[in-house]
Amino acid sequence: MQSLENKILLEGQVLSDEILKVDSFLNHQVDPFLMREIGEEFARRFKDEAITKVLTIESSGIAPATMAALQLGVPLVFARKKKSLTMADQYYKAEVFSFTKRETTLIAVGKPFLNADDHVLIIDDFLANGQAAEGLIDVVQQAGAHVVGIGIVIEKAFQDGGTRLRQSGFRVESLARIASLQDGAISFVKKEKV
Ligand code: G4P
């Protein structure tokens, strides 16, 4: 998605060879016009999949996922991050380990919000090692629902989450795919000619 790549080049800050800071439009301040475009693009890519729900994880997934849900005309559900769970049997839950933060988080979705007949589009802001996406897939499968695909705003293609998810058979659509952040320079995966 060209406007997203332009925004990343203009406003993204390379913090290290592995971390891209995009606080000005995605992770802290949110650019609603860009989010609307992102939602439209996800909806365009997944429009034939009879999606009934969009699922993301708090907090930065909520903005792009809401816009996608709006365009698809379905509810958005976001997994909550919990330290511990009271009334645990009322939630589908999974443990997500973050390589970036070196910590494990419990994510939880209330059982009334996912049903066995749901066709779920998972959306997240970043795809790095894929732990968050795998936790969300786990939650959907606990509900007996179907994962239609995974929509990612920014995939760091030099980390292995995208490869693993695709090899497991999931359709992963990333709107920007970063090939490298080495030496402070952002480069994107070259698009295949069709
Ligand atoms: P993974 O899910 O793909 O394995 O990623 P990882 O655990 O490594 O990422 C942990 C958190 O850091 C996630 O946000 C993820 O979105 C974010 N993240 C990973 N790589 C980058 C990066 O290069 N830049 C930025 N800006 N974020 C990155 P989170 O903890 O869930 O935070 P939030 O959603 O509350 O903002």
Query: What's the DSSP call for residue 128?
Result: S
Query: Of all protein residues, whose CA lies closest to atom 35 belonging to ligand 1?
Result: 59
* This prediction's pTM: 0.95
The per-residue pLDDT string of the chain (194 residues; one tens digit each, 9 = 90 and over) reads: 999 999 999 999 999 999 999 999 999 999 999 999 999 999 999 999 999 999 999 999 999 999 999 999 999 999 999 877 777 899 999 999 988 888 999 999 999 999 999 999 999 999 999 999 999 999 999 999 999 999 999 999 999 999 999 999 999 999 999 999 999 999 999 876 55
The length of the chain in residues reads 194
Residues 6+ apart with CB under 8 A from 185: 14
Within a domain: 193: no
Residue 64's pLDDT is 98
User: Quick one: which of 51, 56, 97 has its CA closest to 74?
Assistant: 51
**Cβ(41) – ligand 1 distance below 6 Å:** no
29-35 CB contacts, 8 Å cutoff, 24+ apart: 30/63, 31/7, 32/63, 34/3, 34/4, 34/7, 35/63, 35/64, 35/66, 35/67
User: Quick one: which of 98, 106, 56, 102 has its CA closest to 82?
Assistant: 106
Residue 110's pLDDT is 96
Q: Which atom of ligand 1 is nearest to the CA of 134?
A: 2
CATH number for 34: 3.40.50.2020
Cα of 126 vs centre of ligand 1, distance in Å, is 6
Cα of 77 vs centre of ligand 1, distance in Å, is 19
Within a domain: 130: yes
**Cβ(64) – ligand 1 distance below 6 Å:** no
Q: Which atom of ligand 1 is nearest to the CA of 101?
A: 10
Instruction: Count up the domains in the chain and report the number.
Output: 1
Residue 190's pLDDT is 86
Please report which helix (H) or strand (E) contains residue 40, including its range: helix 32-46
Within a domain: 194: no
Q: Which residues are annotated as a binding site for xanthine?
A: 20, 27, 156
Residue 85's pLDDT is 77
* Domain ranges, residue 123: 2-188
Q: Which atom of ligand 1 is nearest to the CA of 129?
A: 4
